[in-house]
Amino acid sequence: MRWQLVDRIDELVEGKSAVGVKCFTLSEPFFADHFPGFPVVPGVLLLESMAQLAGKLIGFTVKRQRGDWPFPIFTMANHVKFRRFVRPGTIVQLHVELTNLSPESAAVKVQAKVDGKLHAQAEEFFVFNAVPLLDDAERRRVENLERQALRLLWADYPRDMLQEAQ
């Protein structure tokens, strides 16, 4: 099963930061078991939502700076702190700050806030590759899928990247 844990990207600054939103509704399948009578978002899914936004920031930054779409893989989290429960019906604002970017990896600081109050924070680490194992046609197909996903989430998607896809 694939979880789509970013509903919208409000701000994405190449090489610096991103802000996004995830609205957790009672219809999310995990609320049935986590926990009956007191549904809360599992911490690992909150970490994953921040990682998904971080992946979009990293992918966009590397594409703009180096020309290839990387495919960031979330590998590790440090200094994870969950401060408050996230309940159904909550709108979570996700904040990502890029702290390190190398040819093969990236590090970010992430926060999840509700109504301006910090609910979770962590440092997250990613490795990536420009997917040299794919042939050109398959690589273009995967890059177009990534472009489309970013365009759907981010209203301010750059026009020059739209033309590049055609």
What pLDDT, on a 0 to 100 scale, did the predictor assign at position 17?
99
Domain residues for the domain of 101 are: 8-165
pLDDT over 80 at 79, yes or no: yes
Q: Is 34 one of the catalytic residues?
A: yes
pLDDT tens digits, residue range 8-36? 999 999 999 999 999 999 999 999 999 98
User: Among 22, 55, 76, which Cα is nearest to 146's?
Assistant: 55
Number of domains in the chain: 1
Both tokens of 57, joined, read 């920031």
User: Among 83, 88, 6, 11, which Cα is nearest to 51's?
Assistant: 6
Q: Residue 109 is part of a domain; what is its CATH number?
A: 3.10.129.10
Pairing of strands 117-127, 73-82: antiparallel
Query: Catalytic residue among 34, 79, 95, 119, which?
Result: 34
What pLDDT, on a 0 to 100 scale, did the predictor assign at position 1?
52
What pLDDT, on a 0 to 100 scale, did the predictor assign at position 164?
58
Q: How many residues does the chain have?
A: 166
Query: Does the residue 92 lie in any domain?
Result: yes
pLDDT tens digits, residue range 137-157? 887 888 888 888 888 999 888
Query: Does the residue 1 lie in any domain?
Result: no
Query: Does the residue 3 lie in any domain?
Result: no
pTM: 0.91
Query: Does the residue 140 lie in any domain?
Result: yes
Higher pLDDT, 147 or 58: 58
